[in-house]
Amino acid sequence: MDHLFYNLKETFTRIFSGRYLFAQGIAILATFIIVKSGFDYIYYLTYDQSYTQHLFFSAVIAGGIVPIVFPLWTLLYGHLFKKRKVTILGNMLAQAVALGWIISSFYKSLTGRVPPAHTLNSLIDLSREFQFGFLDGGVFWGWPSSHTTIAFAMAFTIWSVYPRHVLIKYTALIYAIYIGFGVSLSIHWLSDAVAGAIFGTVIGLAIGKSFSEKLKEHR
């Protein structure tokens, strides 16, 4: 039976075990290196108030709308036109969005990272400001980027469904990179986006693995 909760427990367990958990450790290490080296702040100053920053701000909007609209559209299309594989993809994408948001919010609730300040205070380096503890910094801002986590989770979910379809899978990846790059120029530090990309990839691959048997029936 196709539904949002298909193999959800298995997927969640997989995300926090083995190589998937190791990858999350890599995300944490990468963040530590980028923050401690000062590259987060250097990157921020490079693009702050630039034309590139304004141009890619659309990624912030797209990253909030697409995860809601696209899974719903996919599910509707699959049901209306009796496309079972598309319906399965719709459920997978919905699961990717849900897990991407839950897991990124969980990490944010523990790290409480202060976001960039695109104001006159931008000359103050806030890139190393974390508020470790439960909910000390809320769950809407900070590390990792939820926009990026969800975008990469969706992209690698699509890869698992269409591994041989070059146009579809690379379009999905380009979208995820666009979201990650865009938010790293505005509402997030670069390391937030890097970590989000790794977390999202882990989630997408884990969902693809959990749905692998079901997908084999339609290849």
Locate the domains of the chain by residue range. 8-216
* pLDDT of amino acid 120: 54
- Please name the helix (run of DSSP H) or strand (run of DSSP E) that holds residue 139, with its range, or none: none
Q: State how far the Cα of 111 lies from the Cα of 130, in Å rounded to an integer.
A: 6
How big is the chain by its Cα radius of gyration, in Å? 18
Is residue 165 within 8 Å of residue 217, measured between CB atoms? no
* pLDDT of amino acid 219: 59
* pLDDT of amino acid 76: 96
* pLDDT of amino acid 126: 87
Question: Of 206, 200, 207, 161, whose CA–CA distance to 179 is shortest?
Answer: 200
Is residue 88 within 8 Å of residue 218, measured between CB atoms? yes
* pLDDT of amino acid 122: 64
Neighbour count for residue 8 (Cβ, 10 Å): 15
Respond yes or no on whether the N-terminal peptide bond of residue 144 is cis (omega within 30° of 0).
Answer: yes
**Residues in the chain, pLDDT under 50:** none
Give the position of tokens 């979910």.
157
Q: State how far the Cα of 13 lies from the Cα of 199, in Å rounded to an integer.
A: 14
Is residue 15 within 8 Å of residue 99, measured between CB atoms? yes
* pLDDT of amino acid 118: 64
Q: State how far the Cα of 8 lies from the Cα of 16, in Å rounded to an integer.
A: 13
SS3 of residue 33 by DSSP:
helix
